[in-house]
Structure 1
Amino acid sequence: LEKAKANQIAIVYSNLNKKLWFEENELNELSETIQKIFTTNNLPTDHLYISGFSSGGDVALLVGDYLTKNEQLNLTPKGIFIVDSPIDLAELYFSSEKNLQRNFSEVSVQESNWIIKMLGDRFGNPNQSLTAYEAFSVFTLKTSSIKNINNLKNTKIRLYTEPDSLWWKEHRMADFDQTNAYLIKELSKTLINAGFTKTEYIPTENRGVRSNNERHPHSWSIVETGELINWILDQ
């Protein structure tokens, strides 16, 4: 926050938590809320950046696409960055199935049960049909679908992740293709192949440490703040 203030960057925090997709009416409501924040605080709208950690990255990309598509809102983001986000809902379901079969980590089992129930209740089983998942997911690896962020082709995008496969194997018994890092790398390749020339894939190494000094690659700390601020300020 102090570095942002020193560079005259205003930050607005969202209280959305564990939000992995949006229903259409929710995107409209959120965009109206964002618009009100800018109006009430007399903030400039010509240098907007949206970001998020974990599921917050899904929020950032989806709302960024919506704002870009609806130009009349006058809130087109200049840039979006995500930090180790679970961008593929179908793969999240598949990975959770594998975690339950392994039954290795209590944390992993609890989270996987929650994910399968939540996604299954809303979209059904992706092993039977991917259609509903594609309709709401940032990215669908099995079909290379990026249709929900197609409007961001000319937007600056940064994809941060720390591909520490050894940590995930040791602590969760997870394969690399189950990690956010793997899917983020695949998204990057898909976007670049589709002409998203302002997309940057940024893998980090040994930066994932949480506030309690616990080593964890799924952490905000993988982002180098000063360099990120320079990217934001770059016209």
Structure 2
Amino acid sequence: MRLAILSFLFVSFSISVLGQEIEYTFSTPGDSTKNYYVTIHPKDEVKGALILLPGFGELPKQTLLDSEIYKHASEAGYMTIIPALGDWSFFYIDEPSHQKLDQFIDEVFKKYNLKESSFFIGGFSLGGTMAIQYAQSANSENSIQKKPQAVFAIDPPLDIERLYNCMVTTNRPAKNPVSIQEDEYVTDRIQQEFGTNPQANPEFFWKVSPYAESDPEHRSLKSLVNVPIRIYNEPDINWYIENRNIDFNCINAIDSAAMINWLKFLGNSNAELILTKDQGYRISRKMRHPHSWTIADGNELVSWLIKQKAD
């Protein structure tokens, strides 16, 4: 049975910013802490739609500050919809989260009369993980979900077993204070949401992860063989060593490279890994960080998405 979290009445209002109409749709009027979404309308005819998923701990208001993808989409005639499917702690990768996204997509398809032939999905960090999981599920056998024409992810953790093991390992020279807090929270949430962990039940995480290195059959990739996919990473290992005391084993690029490598081997000629240098910058915080929205060139990304549109 589907969750009913998003099925109650929404209240919307619109504002105009630099020629773009930005519509805020709230479940509780004026409450931008949870259960709302932002729609950026193009000036003229709507040619399609992009659902953009924030990273873990982010809400749409921060995505609007740190990403310019929606601006380029709007200029190209595409509507962008950025949801908060819960509050800041929305976890993205568990089944209840997936059900919320499914219901949300059904609702906005009806509201805006969207078409699968011009529908795209992507996201940042765990939002990117969820975007890929959605594409996998939508393209699986007998799925009734809306199928995106292409999917992209910006520095997503894809192998949840690798992520968990990195966070619990004691085999590090030191552990940065920022990492300590994040690692404890994420590993506790994994245990809480799934009732197990990759060390106790690695096979379970072969199904949970968009890519699972320890799965000898790489079953999670089969439904993506015909899906155009892009993954962006900025593997600035010296930044990670100096600022987080971690090496290549603990950065997301290791998952991305493996996943794209396998997809190409399996026959996906439209699977791409985009690696950047010195592009990562968190605009709202005015700080250098390779794990940021800005590693994706919004204009070039939107151009690539449009090329994947069904005829």
TM-score clears 0.5: yes
Work out the CA distance in 1 between the residues paired with 2:93 and 2:99. Answer: 13
| Count of residues in correspondence between the two structures | 234
Work out the CA distance in 1 between the residues paired with 2:306 and 2:200. Answer: 46
Counterpart for residue 224 of structure 1: 297
240, 244, 253: which is aligned to 1:181? 253
Per-residue deviation at 1:146? 4.0
Per-residue deviation at 1:101? 5.7
> How do 1:43-82 and structure 2 match up within 5 A?
43-69=114-140, 73=144, 75-82=146-153
Deviation >6 Å, runs of 4+? none
Structure 1 contact 99–174 (Cα < 8 Å) conserved? no
Work out the CA distance in 1 between the residues paired with 2:189 and 2:254. Answer: 23
Counterpart for residue 13 of structure 1: 82
With over 3 angstroms needed to count, the CA separation of the structure-2 counterparts of 1:128 and 1:102, relative to structure 1, is farther
Which runs of 5 or more residues in structure 1 are unaligned?
Answer: none
Per-residue deviation at 1:35? 1.7
Work out the CA distance in 1 between the residues paired with 2:93 and 2:296. Answer: 24
> How do 1:8-47 and structure 2 match up within 5 A?
8-16=77-85, 19-23=91-95, 26-47=97-118
Work out the CA distance in 2 between the residues paired with 1:74 and 1:98. Answer: 38
With over 3 angstroms needed to count, the CA separation of the structure-2 counterparts of 1:36 and 1:70, relative to structure 1, is farther
With over 3 angstroms needed to count, the CA separation of the structure-2 counterparts of 1:72 and 1:201, relative to structure 1, is closer
Letter in 1 for 2:302: I
Which runs of 5 or more residues in structure 2 are unaligned?
Answer: 1-69
- Greater gyration radius: 2
With over 3 angstroms needed to count, the CA separation of the structure-2 counterparts of 1:153 and 1:144, relative to structure 1, is same
Work out the CA distance in 2 between the residues paired with 1:143 and 1:115. Answer: 22
Please report the TM-score for the alignment, with normalisation by the length of structure 1: 0.90
> How do 1:80-95 and structure 2 match up within 5 A?
80-95=151-166
SS at match of 1:110: helix
Structure 2 contact 91–97 (Cα < 8 Å) conserved? no
RMSD: 2.2
Deviation digits for residues 37-87 of structure 1, max 9, x if unmatched?
Answer: 111112232111110100001110111222223667472111000000011
Please report the TM-score for the alignment, with normalisation by the length of structure 2: 0.69
Work out the CA distance in 1 between the residues paired with 2:216 and 2:288. Answer: 32
